[in-house]
Amino acid sequence: MILAHLSDIHFGRIAYPEIVDGLVEEVNTNEVDLVVVSGDLTQRARPSQYRAARAMIDAFTAPTLVVPGNHDVYAWWRPASRIVSPLRRYRKYITDDLLPTFERNGVAVLGINSAYGRTVKGGRIGSEARARIGSFFGEQPEDTFNVLVVHHHLMQIQALGSHDVARKARRTLEQAAQAGVDLILCGHLHVSHVEPVELDEWEHRLVIVSAGTATSNRGRPPHRATNFYNRIEVEADAFTIEERRYDPEAHRFVHDNTTRCPRTPPKLPDAATEKKEETT
């Protein structure tokens, strides 16, 4: 199974005129089985931005699994709509399913919503989403590779400095550990990073993959002027995360970094990370 993990598209703040088409073309020509978008399709949840996001999603030849981000709710100057029906436009243009799933070839993927109007940008995980983590992954065969998709982060990652963590994150992470989640795909921070984590309290290990902004000009240090997406290959004994960076001079995405993790390693530090120079 090969997944393309995109995040923080931010239509309304696109970095380069050709980058969206270049991203779609690359994904469509590289044997991807599922396109995962972990939120912030728009900059201000405007209809025109949602229509552009819908066009991008429709252009992918592979199936897509999408969750909303905090920028996909009504903006702060629409306070009533932001509180009463924050994702009305998301539901109209993208999907009404806030708990999307995908199952194929021993891989199970669940998306959950962390975007609510009352939480401004920090995010929150509701009880329905936490319950769904347990029921969905609990139904999978023991050797299934389980992937959870959410826009906001569920724990502080030291390498990323101080950052937002969703409300009820600890309960959600506990539920994910108990359900046997192997990989968490998220965004929000606009920084590309792979973090193997050992959750001693729950005797579980998983990998958190934070995607950079795939197409916008809203990057943050150390990736302020850089766009990324992730290509994830799941094999029988291991999974590989390739971070791909956009080269504006070449008008294409290029290899940046590869992290390979055994699916059942004796210790998380054994996950091997290798930097490779880009080859043509």
Q: List, for residues 100-143, the tens digit of each pLDDT value.
A: 999 999 999 999 999 987 766 789 999 999 999 999 999 999 99
**What pLDDT score does 239 carry?**
98
CATH number assigned to the domain comprising residue 75: 3.60.21.10
Task: State pLDDT tens for residues 195-231.
Answer: 999 988 888 999 999 999 999 999 988 898 899 999 9
> Is residue 9 domain-resident?
yes
**What pLDDT score does 225 carry?**
87
Contacts of 3 (CB under 8 A, 6+ apart): 32, 33, 34, 35, 36, 107, 109, 147, 185, 230, 231, 232, 233, 234
- Other CB atoms within a 10 A radius of the CB of residue 201 amount to 10
**Confidence label for 77 from pLDDT (cuts 50, 70 and 90):** low
Mean confidence (pLDDT) of the chain: 91
| % of the chain residues with pLDDT over 70 | 90
**What pLDDT score does 85 carry?**
80
Task: State pLDDT tens for residues 243-252.
Answer: 999 999 999 9
Average pLDDT over residues 185-190: 97
**What pLDDT score does 252 carry?**
96
Task: State pLDDT tens for residues 20-39.
Answer: 999 999 999 999 999 999 99
> Is residue 280 domain-resident?
no
Residue 250: give the domain boundaries: 2-274
**Confidence label for 82 from pLDDT (cuts 50, 70 and 90):** low
**What pLDDT score does 215 carry?**
98
**What pLDDT score does 118 carry?**
74
| % of the chain residues with pLDDT over 90 | 80
pTM of the model: 0.92
Q: In this predicted structure, which of 113-117, 123-127, 151-155, 189-193 has the lowest mean pLDDT?
A: 113-117
> Is residue 217 domain-resident?
yes
> Is residue 279 domain-resident?
no
**What pLDDT score does 120 carry?**
66
> Is residue 220 domain-resident?
yes
> Is residue 26 domain-resident?
yes
**pLDDT higher than threshold 60 for residue 235:** yes
**pLDDT higher than threshold 50 for residue 265:** no
**Confidence label for 268 from pLDDT (cuts 50, 70 and 90):** very low
> Is residue 89 domain-resident?
yes
Question: How many domains does the chain fold into?
Answer: 1
> Is residue 184 domain-resident?
yes
**pLDDT higher than threshold 90 for residue 84:** no
